[in-house]
Amino acid sequence: MLTVGDKFPEFELVGVDTNDLSTAFKDIVYKPSEKKDTYAGKWKVVFFWPKDFTFVCPTEIVEFGNLNGDFADRDVQVLGASIDSEFVHLAWRNDHEDLGKLPFPMLADVKRDLSEALGILDRDAGVTLRATFVVDPNGVIQHVSVNNLNVGRNPAETLRLIDALQTDELCPCNWEQGEEVIKV
């Protein structure tokens, strides 16, 4: 599995960011080697869930959506992903009331290329683990967390970590934005 300090892998995936079939599908590209990046210059939170139409997944996805404005205030683009197709993502958005208004794209890693490059496929189930990657504007992974399939993550903690990472300072345990950092 890739970790802190590694370069985030390049990818080109279809994202779903509306519920309208005529405008739902959008190519999301992250290929710095070709000077192509849909969200160039931004921090990125790329989080993965196992499968659409499941039970724990929408609780996490909706909470990332609820905090999207806070992430945007920190110049962070949120990207959600699973191994489901863009058509399954669109169907789920249209079926699940809370997912219909998501403010970020749901990426379709159908061929599992990105999931394999990151090393986050569950060996037995063949789906992605609940992995979260915080990537700085230079494409370097600054934080990784991975949960088992049955345990949801805490998007507010991801936001707190971004606040700490963006200080470029020493931040103590449980540090929150606005608190003192450690001065050596």
Do the beta carbons of residue 41 and residue 136 sit within 8 Å? no
- Can you give the three-state secondary structure of 38-96, one letter per residue? CCCCCEEEEEECCCCCCCCHHHHHHHHHHCHHHHHHCCEEEEEEECCCHHHHHHHHHHC
In 3-state terms, what secondary structure has residue 176?
Answer: coil
173 is catalytic: no
Q: List the catalytic residue out of 45, 57, 99, 102.
A: 57
Q: What angle do CA 37, 63, 113 make, to 5 degrees?
A: 40
Catalytic residues: 57
